[in-house]
Chains A and B, each alone.
Chain A
Amino acid sequence: MDNDFYTGEFEQLLKEKTDLFRMFPSKRVWHSIYNNLHPSRRWPSVIMSLLLMSSLSFIGYLNTGVNNSNGHTTLAITNNPNAINNQETAENKNIFFSARKTQKQTIVNYNTSFADVITNETDFLTYTIVKNNRPNYIYNTTAVKEFTKLVSNKNAEQNSSKNFEQAVDNYIKSNKNFADIAVTNKRQYAKNKKRRSQIINSNELSTVNIESSLITTTDKIVSTKVENSNFDLNDISKEDKNTIAKIDIIEDKNRLKNDEKVWIENYALQNKLAGKKWKQHLAFQIYVTPAVNYRKLTTESRGSTTAFATADINNVISQKPGFGIEAGASINYAFANRMQLKTGLQLNYTNYNIDADQTNHPIITTILLNDPNTGYSYSAARTSTTSNVFNSGALQPVTLHNRTYQISLPIALAYKLSSENNVDWFVGISAQPTYVFGGNAHLISTDLKSYVSDPSSISTWNLNFGFETYMNFKMRSYNLQVGPQVRYQVYSTYRKYLALIEKPYAVGLKFGLTKGF
C-alpha cells in the first residue's frame, strides 16, 4: 500500500481500505436486538436466568462455610513434624505456600462444602469456625492433645472424633479461647478494607488466612516460606510484604472491574433499552361502540301468586331493543408478542324501549318486592301514569326508555390471532366494573297492567363482561380497529329488593383509533 496512494484518488483509497475493514460484534448486541424485536420470547430466558441465579446462590449459600464474603480462605497448618514432612515437596524441605500447588500439598484446606459456620459476637467481633470435615491429622497434633486436655475435663466422652468435635464446639461456644481456632475478623476487615493475609500463629495450632484472590492469581507469593512450620509474620520478607500489598491493590481493582463488568453485562443483557421498550409497547386508544341494547327479564319471587310472579315476563311486555353507545379511552400494553393488556375509562349509555299508553291521570298500582329479611315477596304501592299495551291498543302511545348512564373501568386482554401485512386480527375479553350514575327505570306492575317509573331502583354498581373481535389496520402512525363487540351485564340492573331482574346485553361495532407513544 505504501506506493499505491496518490492524492487524486484519496477518497477512493479511503473507501477501498475502509470497506475491507470488518469487526465482529459481541453476542450481547444480537441478544439485545433479539430481545427488542421479540419481547415475548425474553420471558423464558429471564425465568431461566433467575432460576439459574437462584440455584447458584443457593448452592453458594450451602457451600459457604467460612467467611467467604470477603474472599478469604482459611487454611490451617500444624506444627506436627510428621504431618509437615508428609507435605513437603521434593524440591524444598521448607513448606511453601503455593497458590496452586500447596493448597493440596502443604496446607490443609478445610473443605468448606461441608463446613458449618458458627458466628458470634466476641472480643474478636466475628469469628468463624469450621467444624465439619476436619482432617484426621488434626487429632494427632500436639496442639490438639493439649487442647484435648483442656477440654477433657468438660466432656468425659472425648475419645472419639465425633465427641471430640462436639467438645471443641462446646468449648468454643463457651467463649474462652479463640486463638486456637481460625479467626477471621470481619468487622475489622470491613473497617480497614485492607486485604492482607491474616496469619494467626499460636504455639499449638496455627492457622493462616490467605486471600483467595492471591492464591489464585499470583505466583509471587509462592515463595513465602514457613520454616519448620513455626510460621510467623516476621518470616515474610519486606519485599514479599510489598509484593503482597501491591498485588492486593491490583487485585482489588481488578476484582471491582470484573464485578462491574459482569454486572453491566448482565444488566445490559436483561434490561437493554428497557425504557424504550416499555414505551414502545404502550399505545393510547380512543374508541366508540355504537350498540343495540337487548335485555332479558326474569323474576325472583317467593310466596307470591300474582300475575307478575307466574307469567313469563318477557312475553307480556311490548318492548323493543334500543340504541346505546360506549365510548372511552384506554392504554394498551403489549406484554407479549401476541398479547395486549388494556385498561382505561369508558362511558356507557344503555337504552331499552317499551311501548306504553299514556294515561290521563295517575293510577295506584303495585310492584313486587322481596323482603331481605324473610325472602318472601310482597306488593308495594306505587303510582303510575303509563299502562301496558301488550295485547291492547294504545290511545296515547308513548315509548318509555329504560336508560342508564354508566362509567366503567374496563380491564381487557386481547390476543392476536393472525397478522398479515398491515392487518392484524385480534380477539379480546374484558371485565368492566361499572358505576351507574344516572338513568331511568320503568318497572312492570304486579298485575302487569302498568309501568312504574322508579330511577331509585337502579343498582349503583354493576359488572359487565365484554367479548370482542376486531381487525387492526396499521396506518401511518395510527392503527384503526374495527370489529364487533358483545357486552353482557352480570348482575341485575335493579337493586336486590326488586323481584324483577333485568340483565341487558349490547351488540355493537367498535371503532378504535390507536397511537403509540
Chain B
Amino acid sequence: MLNGCLRNNATSQEALYSHFSPKMLGICYRFAKNREDAEDMLQEGFIKVFTQIHQYRNEGALEGWIRRIVVHTCINILKKNKKFSDSVDITNANSIRIREEMIPSIIQAKQVVECIRSLPLGYKTVLNLYAIEGYSHKEIALMLDIEESTSRSQYTRAKAMLEEILIRKKIIQKPKKKIKFYGAVSPS
C-alpha cells in the first residue's frame, strides 16, 4: 500500500485513505466547527499526506505520521481562516457558558468528543493538542502563535470546564475531595 502510494497509484491511495480516514476525520472533527469543515480539513490533510509521502521514512507508525500531518493541517486551516485568532477568547473564555443542548448524549466516545467540541475554540484547540495529541505547551505555543504560559493557563481552564461538563452530563463522577491535613496534628 505504501509502495503504491509512493508510485502515485490511485488504488493504493484509496486503500490508505479508506483505512485511516475514519479515525482522522474524528480528529478533524474535534478541531472543526462542523462536519463540513472537518471534511475539508481531512481532504487537505490527505492531499498533503499523499504529496509528501515520500518523506515518510518508515520510522514510527504510519498512522502517527499521518496523524501529525492532519493535526497540523487542522491548525493551519484554523489559523488561515482566522477562526482561531478571532476567537482568542482563549484569554476571555472564562465567561463563556456551555449550552446544555450543545452536548448530545449518544455513545460515550462521541459524548466525550462532543463535550470537547462544545468548548470555546481556543480552549478545545489547546486541550486537543495537549491532552489528546500529546504536544507540549511549548510546541502548542509555537503552533498557535501564543505564549507558552497562555497555553498552560488555557489548558487548565479548558480542563476545568470540560470536567464540569462531563460531570454535569453524568459522564464522569465528581471526584471525592481528599481531606488534607496541615500541621502536626494527626487525626488519629
B-contacting residues of A (Cβ < 8 Å)?
1-3, 5-7, 10-11, 13-15, 17-26, 28-30, 32-34, 36-38, 41, 272
Contact = CB atoms under 8 A, between A and B. Distances in A.
Contacts of B110: 21
Contacts of B23: 19, 22
A17 B42 contact: no
15 contacts: A2-B170, A3-B173, A5-B175, A7-B175, A13-B172, A15-B132, A17-B113, A18-B26, A18-B112, A23-B38, A30-B14, A32-B43, A34-B10, A34-B13, A37-B51
Given A15-B131, A29-B42, 11 more contacts: A2-B170, A2-B171, A5-B173, A7-B163, A14-B116, A18-B113, A19-B23, A19-B132, A21-B113, A37-B47, A272-B43
A22 B173 contact: no
Contacts of A25: 21-22, 25, 39, 42
B159 A37 contact: no
B32 to A, nearest CB: 10
A10 B155 CA distance: 12
A14 B131 contact: yes
Given A3-B173, A28-B39, A17 B112 contact: yes
Given A14-B131, A24-B25, A33 B17 contact: yes
A22 B106 CA distance: 13
Secondary structure call for the B interface: helix
A279 B71 CA distance: 24
Nearest to B131: A11
A3 B110 CA distance: 18
A250 to B, nearest CB: 23
Interface residues of B, number: 41
Nearest to B13: A37
Most B CB contacts (10 A, CB to CB) among A21, A37, A41 go to A21
Interface in B29-70: 29-30, 35, 38-39, 42-43, 46-47, 50-51
Contacts of B134: 15
Contacts of A272: 43
Interface string B157-174: 001001100100011110
A460 to B, nearest CB: 47
B81 interface: no
A31 B51 CA distance: 16
A6 B29 CA distance: 26
Contacts of A7: 163, 175
Contacts of B175: 5-7
A30 B17 contact: yes
A29 B47 contact: no
A15 B130 CA distance: 10
A10 B108 CA distance: 15
Given A1-B172, A22-B22, A36 B47 contact: yes
Nearest to A37: B50
Nearest to B175: A7
B27 to A, nearest CB: 8
Given A21-B113, A23-B25, A29 B10 contact: no
Nearest to B51: A37
A26 B29 CA distance: 13
A3 B29 CA distance: 26
Contact of A21 (B26, B42, B46, B47): B26
A24 B10 contact: no
Instruction: Pick the 6 closest A-B CB pairs, nearest first.
Output: A5-B172, A22-B22, A20-B109, A17-B112, A23-B25, A11-B131
A5 B165 CA distance: 14
B8 interface: yes
Given A10-B159, A21-B26, A23-B25, A33 B108 contact: no
Given A10-B159, A18-B113, A23-B38, A33 B132 contact: no
A18 B107 CA distance: 11
Nearest to B17: A30
Nearest to B8: A37
Given A18-B113, A18-B132, A23 B8 contact: no
A26 B40 CA distance: 11
A278 to B, nearest CB: 15
B173 A29 contact: no
